[in-house]
């Protein structure tokens, strides 16, 4: 199976389930298609690099289109590659034919190493995002988030964290996508990157960030 061509689609409650799964596993998917539902409690920033195609009837009596419209606008504001199609007069179903939906899905391909990443989670078990993985929280009772970007000209990576005590960067993914990283800054502190393979671990000791052996941060625990 081509790992860059995994497509996710769901119908009704399955659409909400697909969106919940995708919000924690966006880096595994090429796209997600929620049909006639979308869910409410979603980590919307995590869809930054995942195409989402929403389809919904404007007379749905089971799953309100109002919620879909609100979530759609939120994703637009976050820069998510999202589209939304409303079907006038349709209830809790999508009228045939469905060829256009299938064709769109089959045209999608995952980007395994985006230049910009946004990710938030409530547990380190859901902390993986493409080439970066949140491993520890400062406060386990608060959500954690990261914003990371690559400057391919300067060969530099910049990472900003909130409530993150440790994370790893996967150099195999970056080098496999042709991205060379010579320096990496964490909340303004810059570190040289001489390695081009394996994981590099960064940890906050309460005062400053530093690199640590990977084995110290590989164990991820939920609450």
DSSP letters, 89-147, are T--SS-PSP-HHHHHHHHT----SS-SEEEEEESSGGG-EETTEEEEEESSTTS-EEEE
Mean pLDDT, range 150-169, rounded to an integer: 96
CA dist 3 and 153 (Å) reads: 28
User: What confidence category does residue 222 fall into, taking pLDDT thresholds of 50, 70 and 90?
Assistant: low
Hey, what are 24's tokens?
A: 């924690």
Q: What are all long-range contacts of 96-102, with beta carbons under 8 Å and residues at least 24 apart?
A: 101/33, 101/53, 101/55
In the predicted model, what is the mean pLDDT of residues 203-213? 94
* pTM (2 d.p.): 0.91
The C-alpha atoms of residue 112 and residue 166 are separated, in whole angstroms, by 22
Q: Return the structure tokens found at 63.
A: 């799953």
d(CA 94, CA 35): 7
Rounded Cα distance between 194 and 155, Å, is 12
Q: H helices within 12-109, ranges in order?
A: 13-24, 65-77, 99-106
Phi-psi region of 124 (alpha: psi -120 to 50; beta: other; left: phi over 0): alpha
Mean pLDDT of 114-130: 95
The answer to whether residues 15 and 38 touch, using CB atoms and an 8 Å cutoff, is yes
User: Average model confidence (pLDDT) for the chain?
Assistant: 94
CB-CB contact of 87 with 58 (8 Å): yes
In sequence order, what are the beta bridge partners of 11?
Answer: 35
The confidence band for 5, taking pLDDT boundaries of 50, 70 and 90, is very high
Model confidence band, residue 223 (pLDDT cutoffs 50, 70, 90): low
pLDDT at 91 over 90: yes
User: Is pLDDT at 100 greater than 70 in this prediction?
Assistant: yes
Q: Is the pLDDT of residue 196 over 90?
A: no
| Token pair of 146 as six digits | 């990261």
């Amino acid at each position: 199976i081509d790992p860059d061509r995994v497509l996710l689609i769901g119908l009704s409650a399955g659409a909400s389930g697909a969106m919940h799964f995708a919000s924690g596993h966006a880096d595994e998917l090429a796209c997600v298609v929620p049909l006639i539902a979308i869910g409410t409690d979603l980590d919307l920033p995590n869809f930054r690099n995942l195409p989402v195609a929403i389809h919904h009837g404007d007379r749905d009596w089971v799953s309100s289109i109002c919620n879909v419209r609100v979530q759609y606008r939120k994703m637009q504001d976050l820069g998510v590659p999202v589209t939304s199609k409303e079907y006038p007069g349709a209830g809790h179903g999508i009228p045939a034919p469905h060829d256009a939906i299938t064709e769109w899905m089959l045209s999608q391909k995952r980007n395994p190493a985006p230049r910009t990443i946004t990710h938030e989670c409530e547990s380190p078990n859901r902390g993986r995002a493409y080439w970066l993985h949140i491993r520890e929280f400062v406060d386990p009772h608060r959500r954690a988030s990261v914003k990371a970007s690559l400057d391919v000209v300067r060969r530099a990576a910049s990472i900003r964290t909130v409530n993150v005590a440790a994370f790893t960067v996967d150099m195999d993914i970056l080098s496999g996508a042709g991205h060379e990283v010579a320096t990496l800054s964490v909340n303004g502190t810059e570190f040289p990157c001489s390695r081009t393979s394996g994981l590099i671990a960064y940890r906050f000791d309460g005062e400053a960030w530093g690199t640590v052996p990977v084995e110290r941060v590989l164990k991820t625990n939920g609450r």
